[in-house]
Amino acid sequence: NAGVMQNPRHLVRRRGQEARLRCSPMKGHSHVYWYRQLPEEGLKFMVYLQKENIIDESGMPKERFSAEFPKEGPSILRIQQVVRGDSAAYFCASSPPGVGGLLYEQYFGPGTRLTVT
Amino acid sequence: KNEVEQSPQNLTAQEGEFITINCSYSVGISALHWLQQHPGGGIVSLFMLSSGKKKHGRLIATINIQEKHSSLHITASHPRDSAVYICAASFGNEKLTFGTGTRLTIIP
């Protein structure tokens, strides 16, 4: 059972370009979370998705950022018109569906390091 | 406000020492997580607990719900334990709120 996969591992974009970050959850996991780690800062929640649904996007910047988790294929975090302040490590995590409100451990991917030049 | 605080921020110890990292949180939680971030940046989930104590190898995690406090202990520390240890809480839902991390360095 492969772990959570993210690609690319490193992404360099010029200011104004678009960045697309992909996350394939572990097999059997239907919940995906995106977190951002700015340089020298802690991890911050961005968005929580289930298949075809955004459950909680309270941590997403209001503009330029969007996320999806289609029925087929990986979850995508999309950043339009990137700026230098978007340079960070973006981590995806996945967990199996909780039953009766039970929470499960989250398994993290290796992260995508985005550098905006 | 949902907050998670960790201490110390940095910890340096000699190989073999017993290590304790502390985490406190502001309000009731559904679960408390301990994560390890390697120097290369990868994140590994060590424990998820909502009560009592869990042990895995040389690592032990405890939580005191009344005091809103958790500790991560490492026995017989080794240089390969050098990493950033992060406490995170689920406050009634699935998203995690993170502490700022403890950078642990074990000197041979």
Q: A58 and B95: CB-CB below 8 Å?
A: yes
Q: With helix as H, strand as E and coil as C, how does A14-80 read?
A: CCCCCEEEEEECCCCCCEEEEEEECCCCCEEEEEEEECCEEEECCCCCCCCEEEECCCCCCEEEEEC
More confident call, B72 vs B2: B72
For range B14-31, the mean pLDDT: 94
For range A25-36, the mean pLDDT: 93
Per-residue pLDDT, A36: 97
Of the candidates A71, A84, A90, the residue with the CA atom closest to the CA atom of residue A20: A90
Inter-chain contacts counted by CB atoms under 8 A, chains A and B: 56
User: Measured between beta carbons, which residues in chain B are less than 8 angstroms from residue A91?
Assistant: 43
Per-residue pLDDT, A87: 97
- Calpha distance A4→A30 (Å, rounded): 12
DSSP-based three-state secondary structure for B33: strand
Whether the predicted pLDDT of A1 surpasses 60 = no
Hey, which residues does A95 pair with through a beta bridge?
A31
Question: What are the pLDDT digits (tens) for B41-70?
Answer: 889 999 999 899 999 999 999 999 999 999
| 8 Å CB contact between B77 and B13 | yes
Whether the predicted pLDDT of B23 surpasses 90 = yes
Per-residue pLDDT, A104: 77
Residues with Cβ within 8 Å of residue A60, at least 6 apart in sequence:
A46, A47, A66, A67
User: Measured between beta carbons, which residues in chain A are less than 8 angstroms from residue B86?
Assistant: 42-43
**A99 — pLDDT class (breaks 50, 70, 90):** low
User: Measured between beta carbons, which residues in chain A are less than 8 angstroms from residue B9?
Assistant: none
Q: A103 and B94: CB-CB below 8 Å?
A: yes
For range A46-52, the mean pLDDT: 93
Of the candidates B30, B44, B29, the residue with the CA atom closest to the CA atom of residue B86: B44
